[in-house]
Amino acid sequence: MIYLKTPEQIHQMRPAADIISRLMGELASRIEPGVTTRKLDTIAREFIHDNGGKPACLGYEGFPGTLCIEVNETVVHGFPSNYALREGDIIGIDTVVQKDGFMADMCYTFAVGEVAPEVIELCRVTRQSLLEGIAACRPGARIGDIASAVQTYCESRGYGVVREMCGHGIGRDMHESPEVPNYGRRGTGPVIRNGMCLCIEPMITLGKRHIVIEPDGWQCRTRDRLPSAHYEHTLAVIDGRTEQLTTFDYIHQAIPDRFI
């Protein structure tokens, strides 16, 4: 069942989206070789609390952190740990903030120091595929139009599209209907309507698209251990148009030279 939100309820989602967007700017300036992912997790937890929000991933079905940490071949749901970032890594940071009873979900993949050009290109293509998906997200269009836009953009450039994980509706819950896959056919799936709040989150691989889930049931990596990139925004369809509730602007302000 898809929960359509009133304009007033969508308005209530903005504070969560604002906190998470500013959090990403804060984390952007802290990413450098030597920093542990646990340190980033602590910074995030404190930032969210200081801003009156709640870290929605922490404890969610037993998830052990505020942030999902996706270093190199990790696709999604990696745990914060004592791993210290190294020059040449990429790190996706994916998290969810709750505020005033509503959720916002966002992910950005950062470069740590100098990163191989083909890996930067993977990140660029993944971020652009998110924008292609957002452009396809219009009232009257279908979820399959988003899926097809992401898939076509990435596969035509030779990248793998992870199929086991997908975007989703969002609102009072982190994951609501409908699912928003990153592969599919135009003209299929639910019709996009005013009041829908959606997360689009392409997970794109440099090599093959296949993944392995670790025995802990969470951490997910590429089977071939080649890098994977991941970007995500929370969107709301309101007044006949799609509005991006989350923004990468704070990341851009924090690290203009390293912005992907």
User: Which is nearer to ligand MF3, 58 or 186 (by Cβ)?
Assistant: 58
Scanning the structure block, which residue is given the tokens 């903030």? 97
User: Which is nearer to ligand MF3, 63 or 83 (by Cβ)?
Assistant: 63
**From CA 244, how far away is CA 241, in angstroms rounded?**
10
The minimum distance between CB 57 and ligand MF3, in angstroms, equals: 3
User: Which is nearer to ligand MF3, 75 or 154 (by Cβ)?
Assistant: 75
> Is residue 73 near Co ion by the rule CB under 5 A?
no
Q: Give 152's contacts (C-beta < 8 A, 6+ positions apart).
A: none
**What is the total count of residues that contact Co ion (CB under 5 A)?**
3
User: Which is nearer to ligand MF3, 123 or 203 (by Cβ)?
Assistant: 203
The minimum distance between CB 175 and ligand MF3, in angstroms, equals: 6
> Is residue 57 near ligand MF3 by the rule CB under 6 A?
yes
Q: Give 44's contacts (C-beta < 8 A, 6+ positions apart).
A: 23, 26, 27, 55, 66, 67, 93, 95
Choice from 41, 94, 132, 145 touching ligand MF3 (CB under 6 A): 94
Question: Considering CB distances under 5 to 8 angstroms, the limit depending on partner class, which of Co ion, ligand MF3, none binds residue 57?
Answer: ligand MF3
Choice from 23, 68, 104, 199 touching Co ion (CB under 5 A): 199
The minimum distance between CB 102 and ligand MF3, in angstroms, equals: 15
Enter the tokens of residue 2: 């898809």
Scanning the structure block, which residue is given the tokens 């912005």? 259
Helix axis angle, 37-50 to 7-28, nearest 10°: 140
Which residues sit at the interface with Co ion, rule CB under 5 A? 105, 199, 201
